[in-house]
Structure 1
Amino acid sequence: MTRNVFVAGVGMIPFRKPGTSDTYDVMGAGAVRQALADAGLDYADVQQAYAGYVYGDSTCGQKALYHVGMTGIPVINVNNNCATGSSALFLARQAVQSGAVDCALAVGFEFMQPGALSSKWSDRKPALERALNLVDELVDRTDLPPAIRQFSGAGRAHMEKYGTRLETFAKIRAKASQHAARNPLAVFRNIVTPEDVLASPTIWEGVLTRLMACPPTCGAAAALIVSEEFARKRGLRTNVLIAGQSLTTDQPSTYDSRDMIRVVGFDMTRSGAQLAYEQAGVGPEDIDVIELHDCFAQNELLTYEGLGLCGEGQAEKLVNDGDNTYGGKWVVNPSGGLLSKGHPLGATGLAQCYELTHQMRGTADQRQVEGARVALAHNVGLGGACVTTVYKAA
C-alpha cells in the first residue's frame, strides 16, 4: 500500500429489530447523508459507490443512493455473505489507493427478517454445500439451523480440544452487553451477567444458549474514502488512515483438516490478519482497540486466537485475565459487537468502520479507549470471505 488512503466521513443509523426499522433504501440513504455531512462533502464529489447487502434484489444499491443523488457514477452492488460491508469498504479503498478515483463511497444495509438465517432459493444447491456436507459429518444436532450448527460446533470443538468452559463464552457475551450499554446506536443496551447468559434458553445443551448468538437486525452504515491529495485540496480530515487491509478466502485446510474451528474461517482470519499487520507495519501487540466478528460468543473466542492475540488454546486465559475489555491489553468490540449492537449483514463491516473511526478520532464518547492510536477490524462471511483492516490515528 503506497498511496495514503483516509476515512473522511462515516455515518450509521441506530440498529433496530426486524419489523421496527425503515426500509433498506431509507436506511441506506440516511447513513450516506450522515457520512457526507461528517466529511463535509456533497454527493456530487463521490466518483464511485459500492453498496453492500445480502438479502435483496440486484440493484438495491441504486435505489438507496438515488434518494441522495443521481449523478451517473458507477454503483457496484456487493454480496460477500456476512463480510459484505467490509468487502464494499475494501473495494472503495482499493479504487482510491490505485488512483482510479480520489473519492469513493461504501455503504451497507440490511432489512432482515426474524429468526435464523436461511437460503431464499429452493431450486438449487446452496453455495455453502461443501461446508454443510462436512458439518453433517462432524456435527450432530441436525435439527438446528446451519449457522448455529457451524459456529456452536466450532465452539464445541474448542471445548473438547482445550477444555474451554461454557462459562467463558458467557463472560464474552456479558462483556458485550456492558460495552453496548454505552452505545446509543446498539439494538440491545441492557446489561446481562454471565449467570444471565447461562440461564437464558438452551439451544444446545452444554454448548450454546440463546444469548450467546447475535440477533437478526436491520440497519445501515457508510464511509467515505479519499486520497491524501483530494483531502488536502478540500480541507478534509486526514486523521484516520487505512494502514493495512486484506480480503482473504478459504484455503484447502478449511475442509481438509476436518476441523470445525477451521470450517468457520479460522485460517482466513489468521492469514488475513498477517497480511494486514504486514502492510501496516504492526503486530497484534500494537493494537489498542478491536471490532471483530462475534456473531456467536464462540466465534469471538476463536478469533482471539486467529488474530494472534494469543496462542491456540489460550483464549480462555485471555478472557479470564480481562484482556478483552477496558483496562486490559485490548478493548474488543467497544460498540457491543454483533452480539449486542446487532448484525445487519450488509452493514456490519461498515458499522465496525464507524466505531473505529470515532475511536481513532477520540470522539467515541463513553466508549472511548484512552490513548487509542491503532485499531483492527475483522469481518468474516462463511463461504467464504474475511476482511481485516488496520486503522491508524494520523
Structure 2
Amino acid sequence: MKDVAVLGVGMTPFVAKTEVSLREQAYRAGRAALDDAGVGFPRVGSVYMGYLWEPTMTGVRFLKEFGLTGVHVQHVQNASATGSAALLEAVRAVAGGHSEIAMAIGFDDMQRINGAGFSNESAEGVILPAAFFALWAQERMLTYGTTPATLAAIAAKNWNNAARNPMAQRRPTTAVTAEKVLASKMIADPLTSMMAAGVGQGAAAVIVGSAELARKLHPDRPPVLVAASTMQSESYTPYHLFVGPVIGPSGMTRTTAEVAYNQAGLGPDDLDLVQVHDAFPIEELVYYEKLGLCPEGEGDKLVAENATGLGGRIPVSTDGGLIGRGHPGGPTGLAQIWETTLQLRGEAGERQVPDAKVGLCHMVGGGSVCVVHILRRGS
C-alpha cells in the first residue's frame, strides 16, 4: 500500500442560485484541482464522480469536458457522504497501485432534491430530517441540560466562519449572534431556520497521488498526506432500531473515528482542526464527544469556552460547515477536504488555524454510513 497525498484541490462557490450550469461548475472545480496539482487530465487514471440528484450517466457526460482519455470512471452515491465516499475510492485506487493519480469530483444542486427513496409507509418517508434532528436535540436537552442557546452559539460560529470563506454560500456582512439565530423562524423546536444547513448548488474536486509524487510536483509546498481514510455502516447493538437512517446511531461516528485514529496512529489530542457533518448544530455538538474532542456530556462546555471557535483549542467547521458554507450534497465532503488542505498548507487566509498540522473530516451519509478522513502535513 502506497502512502497517499492530496495533490490538488478545487471548488466553485456554493450558491443558492446561479446562471452557471452544473456542468460548467463541475468543470471549473475539476480544472482548479488539476491546476493546483500541476498535472494534466491525461495523467489521471481513475475518476470517482459523486452526485445525488442527476441522472445516472451525468458524471460520464460531464467528464467529457476534460477530454476523452479512456479513463476509468465510476459514479459514487452515498447520501450526504457522497463526496467523502468518492474520495475514499480515489485514495484506495492510488494506495492499491491501480492508478498513479486519481480524482474525486462532486457536484449537485440540492434544490433539485426528489426524495431519498423512502416510501410513506416508513417513518423516514413521513418525518423530515429537521424533525429527526429536533428529536435528537430534545433528547440531549433532557439528558444533559443542553439549551437552545448552546445550539444557537454553534450555528452563529459557523455563520461567522463562513463570512471569511470566499466559497461559502452564506456570507453575512455583520457578525451573527446567538440571539439572532434564536430569533429566526422556528422550523422544528428547538431548531430555527438559521440553524439549518444552507441548501444550494456547487462543485468540488480533489486529486490524489503518492506522497513521493506530491513532493516531486511541489517541492516548495508541504505535502498533505492522507493519514486515514475509512468508512463504516451501522453495527448491531442491543435494542437497535431499524428506522431513522436520516440520523442513524450516533455511536457509528465513534467507531468510525476509532478506526481512523488507529489507521493514522494519532488520537483526538493530535488534531488541530475538525470538519463535521453539521446539517444542524445538534449534530456538531454530539460529534464533539463521539470524535473524542471531549468526554461524553461535556460538549456544551466546549461551546461555552469557545474552544471550537477560530482561535480556540480545537476549531470545528472552520469554513462555515454545512450551516454556513452550504450543503449541495455530492460535493460537500470534498469541500471539507479543500478547506483542510488549505489549512494544512497555511493558505486559509483570515480563517487560518495557526501552525495547523492535522485535520479530521467527518461526514455521515443518510445516517447509515460514516466516513472519516484524517489529513496531516508532511515534511
Scaled to the shorter chain, the TM-score interval is: over 0.9
Residue of 263, 266, 273 corresponding to 1:289: 273
| Conserved? CA contact 1:254–1:265, under 8 Å | no
Match of 1:210 among 174, 182, 193: 193
Distance 1:364 1:130, change over 3 A: same
Asked whether 1:193 is paired with 2:177, we answer yes
| 1:375 has 2:354 as partner | no
Q: 2:134 aligns with which of 134, 138, 152?
A: 152
Q: What's the offset of the Cα at 1:228?
A: 2.9
Shift of 1:344: 0.8
Tell me, yes or no, if the aligned pair for 1:78 and 1:87 is still in contact at 8 Å. yes
1:253 aligned counterpart, secondary structure: coil
Aligned match of 1:84: 82
User: CA 1:354–1:109 in 2, change beyond 3 Å: closer, same or farther?
Assistant: same
User: Per the alignment, in what secondary structure is the counterpart of residue 111 of structure 2?
Assistant: coil
2:303 is aligned to: 319
CA distance in 1, matches of 2:203, 2:238: 31
Shift of 1:283: 0.8
Q: Take 1:192 and 1:290, find their aligned partners in 2: how far apart are those partners?
A: 21
Distance 1:269 1:356, change over 3 A: same
Contact (CA 8 Å) 1:174, 1:197: kept in 2 or not?
yes
Q: Any idea what SS the aligned residue of 1:332 has?
A: coil
Q: Quick check: 1:7–1:238 contact (8 Å CA) kept in 2?
A: no
* CA shift for structure 1 position 14: 0.6
- Find the counterpart in structure 2 of residue 242 from structure 1: 226
- Of residues 50, 53, 57 in structure 2, which corresponds to 1:52? 50
Q: Which residue is equivalent to 2:41?
A: 43
Inter-partner Cα distance in structure 2 for 1:31 and 1:147 = 29
- Is the Cα–Cα contact under 8 Å of residues 110 and 327 in structure 2 kept in the other structure? no
Q: Which is worse superposed, 235-244 or 98-107?
A: 235-244
Letter of the aligned partner of 1:15 in structure 2? Answer: F
- Counterparts of 1:164 and 1:233 in 2: how far apart (Å)? 50
SS at 2:282's partner residue?
helix
Residue 119 of structure 1 aligns with which residue?
A: 115
* Aligned match of 2:15: 16
Query: How many percent of aligned residue pairs carry the same amino acid?
Result: 40
The C-alpha deviation readout for 1:94-133, integer Å capped at 9, x for no partner, is 110111111000000102217xx55176xx748xx77738
* Structure 1 position 238, deviation (Å): 5.8
Structural RMSD (CA): 2.3
Q: Cα gap change, 1:298/1:260 in structure 2, threshold over 3 Å: closer, same or farther? A: farther
What amino acid maps onto 1:119 in structure 2?
Answer: G
Displacement of 1:307: 0.5
Do the aligned residues in 1 keep the contact of 2:244 with 2:367 (CA within 8 Å)? no
1:271 to 234, 255, 272: 255
Contact 1:253–1:262 (CA under 8 A) maintained in structure 2:
no
Query: C-alpha separation between the residues in 1 aligned to 2:320 and 2:237?
Result: 31
Aligned AA (1:322): N
| Aligned partner of residue 6 in structure 1, secondary structure | strand
**CA 1:61–1:166 in structure 2 vs 1: closer, same or farther (change >3 Å)?**
same
CA change 1:57–1:254 in 2 (3 A) is farther
For residue 202 of structure 2, the aligned residue among 210, 214, 219 is: 219
Q: Does 1:132 align with 2:124?
A: yes
Opposite residue 156 of structure 1, the aligned amino acid is: Q
- What letter matches 1:97 in structure 2? A
TM-score norm. by structure 2 comes to 0.93
Q: Which amino acid aligns with 2:21?
A: T
Using the alignment, how far apart are the partners of 1:244 and 1:120 within structure 2? 29
Q: Does 2:172 correspond to 1:176?
A: no
SS, match of residue 49 in structure 2:
strand
8 Å contact kept, 1:157–1:261: no
- Shift in CA distance, 353/167, structure 1 to aligned 2, threshold 3 Å: same
Q: Look up the SS of the partner of 2:107 in the other structure.
A: strand
Q: Distance in 2 between matches of 1:154 and 1:113?
A: 25
Q: Using a 3 Å threshold, how does the CA distance of structure 1 residues 132 and 41 change in structure 2: closer, same or farther? A: same
Number of aligned residue pairs: 375
**What runs of 5+ residues in structure 1 fail to find an aligned partner?**
134-141
Deviation at 1:203, TM superposition (A): 1.3
User: Deviation digits for residues 32-76 of structure 1, max 9, x if unmatched?
Assistant: 000011111100010000000111111111122111111111110
* 1:338 partner letter: L
2:360 and 2:374 in contact (8 A); partners too: yes
**Within 5 Å, which residues of 2 pair with 1:91-110?**
91-110=89-108
| Equivalent-residue separation in structure 2 for 1:92 and 1:112 (angstroms) | 24
Q: Which piece of structure 1 moves more, 317-326 or 226-235?
A: 226-235
